[in-house]
Amino acid sequence: MTIAQPYLLFLADAPHAKTAFGVRHWRPDACAAQFRYPGSTLDLGLPEMTPDQAAAAGVKTLLIGAAPAGGMLPDRWVGDLVAAIRAGMDIASGLHARLTDVPELVAAAKAAGRRLHDVRHPTENFTIGGFERRPGKRLLTVGADCAVGKMYTALAIERELRARGVAADFRATGQTGILIVGSGVSVDAVISDFVAAAAAALSPAAADDHWDVVEGQGSLFHPAYAGVTLGLLHGSQPDAMVLCADPSRTALGDFDAYPQPDLAECIALYTDCARLTNPDARVVGISLNSSSFGEGEAAALIARTEDRLGLPCVDPVRTGVAAIVDRLGVKGR
C-alpha cells in the first residue's frame, strides 16, 4: 500500500501519540499540520489546521497518529474523519479497529473517491516467487527480543546512508513504520504461508549499490513470534544484519519464564538461518537500547559488548549508527 503524503496528523483528544511523534521525527517533510481537540496535552510543533484548511493547503492524508485506549476508534472522532474525506483527503490508521468497519467512513470514502488505509490489515495478495538472489543490497535489523529498537535502528541507518550519498530505502514491516514512510507491509498480519513472499516483494530487485534497510519484527528467540521473524529473514535475504537488544532485560519482555538470549547465541542462529537464502549474510553490528543506564554505564556497556563480540556496537540515540554503516563498505558521493 502507498499512502499519499503530506499528512495532517490527527491527535484529537488522545493521551499519547507515539506514531505521530515518530512520523514527525523521521519524516518532518511529510508533516504539514496537526489537528488537536481543545484541551489536548500533545504538541508536535506543527501548524494547527482543521481538515478543511489542511485539504485547501494541499494535504493528502489525515493520519490517525494517536492511539486511544484499547485501540478502538472513538465514535466522537468519526465526524471529523468524515469531514476530512469530504474535503478530499484519504485516511490512514494503524489501529487494530478497521476504518473499513465504520459504515459512515466507508460511505463517505466511496462517495468522495477517497481511500481508507488500515495499515495493520494488509489487503495485497503475494505470490510465492523463486527465492533467487535479487540484485541490490539489503540490511535487516534483527532482535534478541521484541520492542528493542529494530525500527528506530533501521530508520537511523537509512538516514546515515542517505547522508553519505548512498541510495537507501527504509522498508516498513509494522504499522508505525508504514505510516512514517507511507508504504510497507504489516508482516505479522499476513497469512503465514505468504510472509516470506511479502518480505521478498517489499525489497525487490534493485541497483547493485542500492540498500534496502528492512525493519525487523519479533525475534527468533520469542516463542510466539519467531515464525514471523524467520519468514521475514528468508524473504529479505539480507546481506547485513544488525542485532538489536535491550541490555537492561534479563527475561523476554512478554514472557517472564523465557530468559533473554545471549548475544553470541543470537548472532549464531540468525546467521545460520539467514544463509539459507543468502550465503553471504552476516551480522555487521550491535544496536543497544541503553536508555535505562546512565551515560558512563552505557559507554562501558557498549565498549564491553564491542570487545566481547568483535563487532561495532552502538546505541542509535546516544552514539548514532555511523560505526555500523562504516562496515557496510558503501561508497558515498
CB 32 within 8 A of CB 58: yes
Note whether 205 binds a copy of itself by CB under 8 A: no
Note whether 190 binds a copy of itself by CB under 8 A: yes
| Piece in contact with a copy of itself (CB under 8 A), picked from 13-21, 127-135, 153-161, 169-177 | 127-135
- 131 conformational bin, left if phi > 0, alpha if psi -120 to 50, beta if neither: left
Rounded-to-integer distance, Cα 18 and Cα 285, Å: 27
Residues 233-272 vs a copy of itself: string with x where CB under 8 A?
A: -xx-------------------x-xx----------x--x
Task: Kindly report the three-state secondary structure assignment for every residue of 122-135.
Answer: CCCCCCCCCCCCCC
Note whether 27 binds a copy of itself by CB under 8 A: no
Note whether 226 binds a copy of itself by CB under 8 A: yes
Min CB(143)–a copy of itself separation in Å: 14
Residue type, 296: G
SS3 category, 104: helix
Min CB(227)–a copy of itself separation in Å: 3
List 107, 163, 264, 276, residue binding a copy of itself (CB under 8 A) = 276
Nearer to a copy of itself, 148 or 314 (CB): 148
The owner of cell 479497529 is: 97
Note whether 321 binds a copy of itself by CB under 8 A: no
Note whether 192 binds a copy of itself by CB under 8 A: yes
Nearer to a copy of itself, 51 or 177 (CB): 177
Residues 159-188 vs a copy of itself: string with x where CB under 8 A?
A: ----------------------------xx
Note whether 131 binds a copy of itself by CB under 8 A: yes
Note whether 193 binds a copy of itself by CB under 8 A: yes
Which residues are bridge partners to 90 per DSSP? 61
Alpha helices in 65-149 (DSSP H): 75-86, 103-112
The owner of cell 551480522 is: 283
Burial class (CB in 10 A: 0-12, 13-18, 19+), 112: middle
CA atoms within 13 A on the CB side of 233: 28
Nearer to a copy of itself, 273 or 299 (CB): 273
The owner of cell 544488525 is: 242
Rounded-to-integer distance, Cα 212 and Cα 134, Å: 12
| Piece in contact with a copy of itself (CB under 8 A), picked from 33-41, 215-223, 292-300, 311-319 | 215-223
- For the CA atoms of the chain, what is the radius of gyration? 20
Size of the site for a copy of itself (CB under 8 A): 36
List 108, 230, 242, 263, residue binding a copy of itself (CB under 8 A) = 230
Nearer to a copy of itself, 66 or 196 (CB): 196
- Which phi and psi (to 5°) does residue 215 adopt? -70, 120
Q: Which residues sit at the interface with a copy of itself, rule CB under 8 A? A: 128, 130-132, 187-193, 195-197, 220-221, 223-232, 234-235, 255, 257-258, 269, 272-273, 276-277
